[in-house]
Every structure is written in C-alpha cells, then in structure tokens.
Chains A and B, each alone.
Chain A
Amino acid sequence: VENVRLLDRLSSRRAVVGTLYLTATHVIFVENGSETRKETWVLHSQISSIEKQATTATGCPLLIRCKNFQVIQLVIPQERDCHDVYISLIRLARPVKYEELYCFSFNPKLDKEEREQGWKLVDLNEEYNRMGVPNNYWQISDVNRDYGVCDSYPTEVYVPKSATAHIIVGSSKFRSRRRFPALSYYCKGNNASICRSSQPLSGFSARCLEDEQMLQAIRKANPGSDFIYVVDTRPKLNAMANRAAGKGYENEDNYSNIKFQFIGIENIHVMRNSLQKMLEVCELKSPSMSDFLWGLENSGWLKHIKAIMDAGIFIAKAVAEEGVSVLVHCSDGWDRTAQVCSVASLLLDPYYRTMKGFMVLIEKDWVSFGHKFNHRYGNLDGDPKEISPVIDQFIECVWQLMEQFPCAFEFNERFLIHIQHHIYSCQFGNFLCNSQKERRELKIKERTYSLWAHLWKNRADYLNPLYRSDHSQSQGTLHPQIAPCNFLYKFWSGMYNRFEKGLHPRQSVTDYLMAVKEETQQLEEELEVLQERLANLQKSQSGNNKVKSKQQDRSKQFGLYTSNNSLANTPQEYSNDLKSFPSRSPSQGDEDSALILTQDNLKSSDPDLSANSDQESGVEDLSCRSPSGGGCLPSEDSGKDSDEAVFLAG
C-alpha cells in the first residue's frame, strides 16, 4: 500500500510518508523520499492488537500495538486498503499452528552442527551437578520418564532420596495437574533447598499420606533443620476459595513439621489488567506529572512487582540465613511459583547473575518446569484470558535488583530487554509451546535455533561494565533492603517506553564505560607490544620488525580516537538500539543477517532516532515535541506555531 503515513506518537505534526508492505512474517514500512529510506519492521508475532479507528479526511488510521511495547500509528489513504490490511494482519498476527511461527522459517545460515552446539549451550544436567546434586540427599528420578506422571514436568526431576516412586506418584495424585514437589534449587553450603509444586487437592479435609511423606522427605533431605516452610504465593482469600473446588492448601495439622505461609501475589488476570492500565498511562499524550504518577499508582503494577520481590526475599532469607528448606506453590505452580523460585535463586546464587547463569535459570525454572509460554504470551491464537505478563514481571524484578545492586550482574539492561523481546518474537524455538513434552514432539531442537546461542555470540553487547567477578556484590546472597523500601521500586521506562527514545537519557553510561573498557583492553595489548619492542630494541637492532609494528600501532591509535570523538559529539548514537548490534553490521554479508537485524528492532527504531537526531545540536529535541522536527533548521512559522501549542498548553 502506498502513501501511508506513519505518525509520531508524541506529535501529530511529525509524520512520514511511505509504503507499507505485508510479508509472510513481517509488516514493513519503508519511508519515501529520504536518501536512507528508513524501514520499520514488525514481526507479526509481536502484534498484540490492531485497532481500526474512524476514518478522517486524511485517511483511515490503523493503530498497531506490539507485545514489546511498540505502538505504531498508520494512516492509510483508502478505506478499502486499510480494511484489507486490517483483515490480513488480524489473520497473520494470530497463527493457529506452531508451524506458522517465524522460528520455523527463520534461518540464520548456521550449519547443523552449529545449531546443535547452540542448543547445548544451556545444559540443565550440568546445572544440577553444579548445584551439587545428585548427592546423599537428592537423586534424579525417572518416574516421569515418558511424561507418565506429569505431562507438564520435565522427564528428569530431582527428588529427595527417601522419596520412593510410590510416594512420588501418590503425592502427584494429590496435587493439581499432578505437579508433585520437585527440586528447584539446592544450596550446597547448608543443604537447604527450594522445592516447587502445585496446590494440594485438599479441599476442606482431604489428606494424602504419600504427599505428607513427600514433604517429610524434603525436610529430611536437610538434616540441619527440623521443619520446612510451605509458601503459598497466593492471597489467602484466593487459596481458600480453591478449597471449595477440592483444591486448596496444606493443613499444618496434617503435615508434621511444616510452617505454612501465605504471600499474596495476585493471579494472572489481575496482572494482565494491571499491565494494561500501566500501558495506558505510558501511551498518554503529554501527560502531566500527576496524570502519570496517579495512573502508575492506580495500575498497581509496582505493588505487584514488590509482592513478587518480597516473596523471593522471604525464601532467599529462609534458605540462606535460617538454613530451612522451602516448598513453594501457587495454584498450578507454573506462574507465580516460577517467578518466586527464580527471584529467590537469583538472590541466593551469584551464578544466576552471570549471563550464562541467567540463561540457565530461565531454562530451569521456566522452560523445563512447564511455564505455559504459548498461552501466556499468545504465540498461537488462543484464549485471551490465558495471556499474562508473568515472565515480564520476573524480568522487571531483575531490573529492579540491577538498579539497587549496580555491580552485581554480569549483564546489562539491554540483555533483559532483548530476552523479553524474543519471548514474544517466536524467532527462536526456546519458548515455544507450553511444556517440554510438546517441544519434544515438535522436534524444536532439530527445526529451530536457540536464542541463548544467539545472545551468547553477541555477549559483548550485553555486558555490564561495572561487573567484576571478584567484586563483593557478585559474591554470595544479595540482601535487598526490606523497609522502608517502597521508593526503591521504580517505573522502568527503558522497557515500557522502549521505543520512545526521546524519553531516555541521551547518553548511556553503560555504553560509554564499555567503550572505555574496550579501549583499555587495546591499550593493554599495545602496552605489551611496546614493552616487547623496547626489550628487543635494547637487546639488538632489528629493523624489519620495527616498521611492521609501527604501522600496527598507528591503526590502533586511529581507532581509539574515532571512538572517543563519537562519544563526545553525538551522544544520541549511544541510545540503545543503534549500539546494540554493532558486531553484526549489515555489511557483514548475507541477506539473512540483515533480516536478523530487523528482527531485533534495529530497523524499527531507526526512524525514531533519525527523526529526533539533530546533527546541529547533537541531541534530540525537547521531549520530541520541539518545532524543529527533522535535521533541518526550523522555519519561523512552524516554530512559533508550536511554541504556543507546546509550551503554553503545558
């Protein structure tokens, strides 16, 4: 479709005209006119909703909201075209079969071996060994070999040594969806562990001997402690309501030596609505400070984030400080339980705060234990009530921790944002389906690529320059402040206003420091070369060697200066996405690498950047609302015009 206008969300005056293309996998908008012909690419799987608004004199507006929080506003001249685009997108954004998803057609031109290597990067067996199991207390159980006991669990599950197959199966029958208690994290230092399960089918009075034995077995696996905590992550009221349906929670009287604890995290429906409300606030056109703060509070989002953090902190404290094992569950044990277990693990074990460890953590607590990625993130067309930002909340918890402990994580904010992006993009097979069983049936590993390998390959872009493995923050357990701490939880504009570059700091400390570190490394190398030369020179006089290395030095020197200059004068080039894939510039070659770039939103963020960047000032305009739109100087008229409109209105 031609002559489509792409509107800037913050200023209706600033629109670009271009052509809209629909492909099997993407919506592509190519800008007319400008030499660069900027392109915006959006994956169909990222589309969360499409809204056709009332036709105006200028055309028919189409609003596309994406799951990575991008909002695209198009105006299509002909109503009929708009309708066609609308209908096609609705169909394309809601695939019904897994095979339609992008990961099955995505081909980064890696050979079979590389693909297999990629899938091997994260190995859970290795991870459990690292934790220290199997050992005297824990063993691997093959009871779920063919998913015979629980179809949403992995085949290999760690259970206490004293839990026989009989106990496990018995316990599983007493648990929602047969999700019996299994090991999530084992603390080598003191034998305390975090186990996870679903709610017991206790109703008002039901008991299950095997389930009681199972919990007993977990306690015995930690000889240093004479009780375990059972943490129900639901609000008490919700748990009680479940009793009427024959489910519920553990009765302390029936289980010996448990301490039962509710930690009220709301359910997926509350969370979905909360996010919805917060996004509405983010989408407001030039909100006042009160609109924004009031809307943020009203959404309840940060309150929910804090509830999840509090639960994680409670568990980490029980394990690390009290040396007590914890069994965590919610209803089915695949949403809140996954959030809480992974937050606790992250606090407890510095390994999970490394890049590799974080991949392992998601693989362990989310992927292998049957978090329903397909349902929660709406990869295939399904029940909209199943959709909920469960892992988004976990990712935000990590960011909140990064803000409080700036040196504790090996990775940076960009790493989190890109993981969030790919959970929805379906470009890699990692997060497909609802369980390991489904993924095996689909032969995901043979037919798609692993995100972890992709991120690992580009790990230089995701490093936190402040991280040192020998730093005190990267050792041991993290202890976030408990009270008063409300103000520690902050709105994450880097995520939820991710595509509005104008709102973010114009100079990135992370990128700056990474550039300095890179330079430092070059200097170290050069120093070595120089020292060697000096030694050589002092020893003898060999001419050839000298000329060669001299040239080498010059080229290095040149590289240093250019990097410094760009830092000083054009800070906007340091805003996230342009820098995010420096190692994969399109010039590197084949079509596919260009395609990858677009998937990662380099392209889609491009117009944003170019529209705001202003070589003359070197910075973007006043919250994107300045009169002097593009790179050119403002005309007297438009300038004056907007002065009133913009500043007087405010």
Chain B
Amino acid sequence: MEFAELIKTPRADNVVLHCPFHLAVEGTLCLTGHHLIFSSRRHDNAEELWLLHSNIDSIDKRFVGSLGTIVIKCKDLRIIQLDIPGMEECLNIASSIEALSTLDSVTLMYPFFYRPMFEVLEDGWSSFLLEQEFELLSSVTNEWRLSCVNKEFSVCPSYPPVVIVPKSVDDEALRKVALFRHGGRFPVLSYYHKKNGMVMMRSSQPLTGTNGRRCKEDEKLVNATLRSGRRGFVIDTRPLNVAQQARAKGGGFEQEVHYPQWRRIHKYIERFNILQESFIKLVEACNDQSHNMDRWLSKLEASNWLTHIKELLTAACLAAQCIDRESASVLVHGSEGTDSTLQVTSLAQIILDPRCRTIRGFEALIVREWLQAGHPFQQRCAQSAYSNSKQKWEAPVFLLFLECVWQIHRQFPCSFEFNEQFLIMLFEHAYASQFGTFLGNNENERAKLKLPQKTMSLWSWVNRPEELSRFQNPLYEANSLVIWPSVAPQSLQLWEGVFLRWNRPSKFLEEAEKERINIIKYNKELQARVNALRRRLAELEVVEVPGEH
C-alpha cells in the first residue's frame, strides 16, 4: 500500500497531547493511512483520540531543543498540540501528516477504505430519490413531470439525471433552455407550496450577453410556472451592477421586456473568497486569547460573518414571503446557481415547509437541494478556516446555510425534530468523513467514482435508531405553520456550538441539555404508566360491572 511510503515514523512514544480544557496527557502516537491515533494508558480507562487525516486543515511545527511541537488545526476548528521528543521523529511525523492530509486523489480518501462496524438497515444511497419526491408532488398537482433529459449528464453536467419541470415543456425545449443558461442549469422545480400552489424554481443566470440575447423556450418554461394573470418574482442573488457586468462575460439577467410577468429583485449575497476570508477572520477572533472585551466585539464585527448570516436569512425570508404572502411564484438564481441560490432555496423551505424541520425531511432537503443540485462540496470544503493555501474554490457556503438553520432553530426551539448536534455533525462530515456522501462536486462525479457502490452513505449510519437518538430535539412538537424568523441584529447570535466549541467549557451546557431530556423523558414515562394503568383499570372495571347491578 502506498500509504506506507508516506509514513516514515509510524509510532512515537512519550508524546504529550494538549487539548483545551483538558490536562495534558502522555501517551503513544500512531499514524495509519487515514488516522492519527493517540492513546494513553494513564488511569484505568485508556483514553484514545482518533483523528482523520482529512480533518486536518493545517499543521505548524516548532522546536525547543530536541523537543518538537506540532500544532494541528482541524477542519472542525479544533486545535490540538502534540509534544514529540526527538527532532527526527517529529519532523517525520509532521511531514507524514502533511502528506496524508492533502492527498490529491479522491479514491485514496478514507470513505473508500472504511468498513462499517454496524449493520446497514437501510442503504442511505437510495433513501432519498427524486422519484419519491415526485410521487408526493403528483398527489397534489399534475402540472409537473419528471424529465430524464439529463440522463447521461449531457445537458447539464452539474444536474442529477432526473429533474422536475413543468409538464407543458418538452425535453427538446429543455435542451434549448440549457444552452441559454450558465452551465446548462435550466430552471427546475425546487419547492411546491401546497397551501397555495405557488412554486420556487432555481437555475443559473441566463446567457443574455451584451446584445440582449433571448430564448423563447426559456421564457415559456419560466412562464409555465405562473398561474394565468399572476406575476412572479426573480430573486437574483447578485447586486444589479454585478448582474449587469456579467453581461460582458456572456451572462446576464432576465430583462423586463422579455419577461413582462416577472419582477426582478436583487438581493445581494456574498460569495466565495469574501466568505472564506470572513470565516477565517471569525475563527481567528474566536481563538484570540486576549482579555480585552472591546477587541472581541470589534473583531466579531470586522469578520462580517453575522452580516452574511443576516443577509442570507433576509433573502430566504424574502423568497418565502413572496410565495406564502404574495402568492407569487419565485425563480432564484445568481451566477452559477450552485451556491447562494441553493442557500436561499433551501432556507426558504425550512421556513415554509414543516417537513423540512424533521430529521428525515431535513436530510431529504440536503440531498435534493445541495447534493443533487450540484453544490460543489469537494471544492468548497477542501479546506476550512485554518488553511494557508489561497485556493479560490473554498468557501463556507454550506456552513453558512447550517448556521442560518441554527439561527431559526434558536428562535423556534420547539419546531425542529433535530437538535444542534445534528447540524454540527453535518458540518463535520461535509469537511471530513468516513462516508462518501459529501465526496465529489455533483452527481455526475459521484456516479463516475461509483460512490454508492464503493462507499457507505452518511444516511445509512445517521438513520440508525441508536444514532438518531443523539440527534433528536427533546422539545420537538410538530408545528405545521410557516415560521418567520427575526433578522434583526439583536436576534442573531454567534453559533457558539461551532465557533466556540473548543474554547468554552461545555460541561454546564451539556448538563442543562441532559436535564431537559430527563424532564421530557420522565414525563413520557409517566404518561405511559398512567395509560397502562388506565387500560388495566378499564379492563377490570368491565369485569366488575355486571356484579354491580
């Protein structure tokens, strides 16, 4: 195995591990092809730390005499420090970690080697098929159809093989529309609002260019989603000037003259490197050890992270409002339609659709609106906030989405079936995982890598009853209503569960969560006991009754 070549020193003794809020521990460090393993035999209970190499974002090494110190910064934002005696060992280990954590071939990643220790009850790869989704849709409307136009990924490489489109538009028209949209991402159905039959579509920008090219089929497709006489809204996630500039590069936006039934709203959402920089600055601020209160707030402000959260939530609320309150259909797009577009469409569904607030429904949402919709996870999540490399494809787009869900969760703590841990788990797995779910940039790549055959799906693991119980919100009471979050600065908070997770003592908060669970659990137990007794009594009384009269 070629990993062996990368591991010059597979094992080092007398290594000291420093973790925040834990006493330093001495033990043995082992490197394997995919893990860094630290084990200490102190006390009776041997402590072990298993760290996926792919979770390592960056490492620093320094020496004091012959004692080497490696600081490992992880993609889940954790920082650990290893003191390794012996300069050579330390150098070897550092270079091995560096090599193993930056493998450039996907097929060398851990998911291809991971063998689950659990019995697979349900294969997650086929848990959320668009066909099932369409079946649900068909029970309420017959205006839509499943199209296999993209079967070979030939029309749009970043779309799944099947998509839902208006019934009145045939595959031939779709092919033409695809040529008129960036990356072939023609408008497809994202969400159907049962309450009033309004829909949310998503696409990429139209390729109008400077001379105002138009595409009759595109106009027809878009208009097919409108009820007669009604208007719709195009939510463009770029500011007007950016959209205008895009024309010079062949892109553009829907012009009023050609789309008279549509009103365009530009709602700017930051993208790519700006978000990545913001992420890096925020994490820096959170790790700042100084005692100065003022610097903390100004650093938090300067990171602009919460500004992005506020803008994203506002855009999603706007989309939801157009659908639910204005009874208008909505088309969402930015440039490529693979980032901010998906943030908006998926958050709007959280607000509008109670199903998306269940565990199963939220998983389906992520599969549908992120994985199948072609969010380039592999590019975006290649590095996290500690990366030194200035690659331009990384961006915490998915993390921002998860945080917005958390913000809504915080405002409606009883309306979600899952808890904060569930969101944090998704964040972790998007960046480093033993499962193949978040590998690849779209369904096309996943199919080529044969991920469903060669790797395990995250959902196969998560949806096992024993795992699910960790992610359930004890306070959940199904809430069938639309939930409108507040986007005022006073209502938005830093997501401590992710950003301060390793810098704050969590004991007291965990105890509180345990207490909450116990209160609910005890209540349910009593309910069960009371019901059982009632039944028992009822039976006894039935027997008694004849005797009474």
| Segment from B99-107, B361-369, B531-539 that makes contact with A | B531-539
CB pair A523 B487 closer than 8 Å = no
Instruction: Chain A residues near B291: list those with CB within 8 A.
Output: 483-486
CB pair B491 A504 closer than 8 Å = yes
B35 within 8 A of A: no
- Option from A292, A303, A513, A620 in Cβ contact (under 8 Å) with B519: A513
Instruction: Chain A residues near B515: list those with CB within 8 A.
Output: 406-407, 466, 468, 471
A286 within 8 A of B: yes
CA distance A389 to B486 in the complex (A): 29
Residues 461-494 of chain A, each 1 if its beta carbon lies under 8 Å from chain B, else 0:
0000110100111000000010111111111010
Query: A291-B489, A294-B301, A505-B413 known; A489 and B293 CB under 8 Å?
Result: yes
Instruction: Chain B residues near A33: list those with CB within 8 A.
Output: none
Within 8 A of B (CB), among A587-604: none
Residues 469-483 of chain B, each 1 if its beta carbon lies under 8 Å from chain A, else 0:
000000101111111
CB pair A553 B326 closer than 8 Å = no
B292 within 8 A of A: yes
A57 within 8 A of B: no
| Segment from B1-9, B64-72, B218-226, B310-318 that makes contact with A | B310-318
B484 within 8 A of A: yes
CA distance A505 to B414 in the complex (A): 10
Residues 10-25 of chain A, each 1 if its beta carbon lies under 8 Å from chain B, else 0:
0000000000000000
Name which residue of chain A comes closest to B509, CB basis.
A406
Query: A466-B516, A516-B520 known; A503 and B477 CB under 8 Å?
Result: no
B331 within 8 A of A: no
- Option from B504, B511, B533, B536 in Cβ contact (under 8 Å) with A488: B504
CB pair B414 A567 closer than 8 Å = yes
The tally of residues in A whose CB lies under 8 Å from a CB in B reads 93
A519 within 8 A of B: yes
A543 within 8 A of B: yes
CB pair A507 B489 closer than 8 Å = no
A541 within 8 A of B: yes
CB pair A640 B307 closer than 8 Å = no
Query: A407-B512, A466-B512 known; A623 and B537 CB under 8 Å?
Result: no
- Option from A487, A553, A620, A644 in Cβ contact (under 8 Å) with B286: A487
- Option from B290, B508, B530, B541 in Cβ contact (under 8 Å) with A484: B290
Instruction: Chain A residues near B345: list those with CB within 8 A.
Output: none
CB pair A526 B530 closer than 8 Å = yes
A306 within 8 A of B: yes
B494 within 8 A of A: yes
CA distance A517 to B522 in the complex (A): 9
Residues 603-629 of chain A, each 1 if its beta carbon lies under 8 Å from chain B, else 0:
000000000000001111111101110
Instruction: Chain B residues near A155: list those with CB within 8 A.
Output: none
Residues 361-393 of chain A, each 1 if its beta carbon lies under 8 Å from chain B, else 0:
000000000000000000000000000000000
CA distance A302 to B298 in the complex (A): 12
B493 within 8 A of A: yes
A300 within 8 A of B: yes
Query: A486-B293, A505-B412, A546-B541 known; A282 and B490 CB under 8 Å?
Result: yes
Instruction: Chain B residues near A628: list those with CB within 8 A.
Output: 325
B256 within 8 A of A: no
Query: A534-B536, A571-B479 known; A520 and B411 CB under 8 Å?
Result: no
CA distance A119 to B348 in the complex (A): 55
CA distance A523 to B493 in the complex (A): 37
- Option from B295, B296, B414 in Cβ contact (under 8 Å) with A509: B414
CB pair A618 B301 closer than 8 Å = no
**A-B contacts, 23 listed (Cβ < 8 Å):** A287-B488, A291-B489, A292-B490, A297-B301, A406-B515, A465-B519, A483-B291, A485-B291, A486-B295, A487-B296, A488-B504, A507-B413, A509-B516, A512-B413, A527-B533, A537-B537, A537-B541, A541-B544, A568-B414, A617-B481, A619-B481, A627-B321, A643-B318
Task: List residues of chain B with CB under 8 Å of any chain A CB.
Answer: 265-267, 286, 288-298, 300-301, 304, 306-307, 309-311, 314-315, 317-318, 321-322, 324-326, 410-415, 475, 477-494, 496, 500, 503-505, 508-509, 511-512, 515-516, 519-520, 522-523, 526-527, 529-530, 533-534, 536-537, 540-541, 544, 547-548
The 8 closest A-B pairs by CB, nearest first: A292-B489, A406-B512, A486-B296, A297-B297, A618-B481, A293-B301, A303-B293, A523-B526
Given contacts A303-B294, A493-B490, A534-B536, 8 further A-B contacts (CB under 8 A): A405-B508, A483-B289, A519-B523, A568-B414, A568-B479, A618-B479, A636-B326, A647-B317
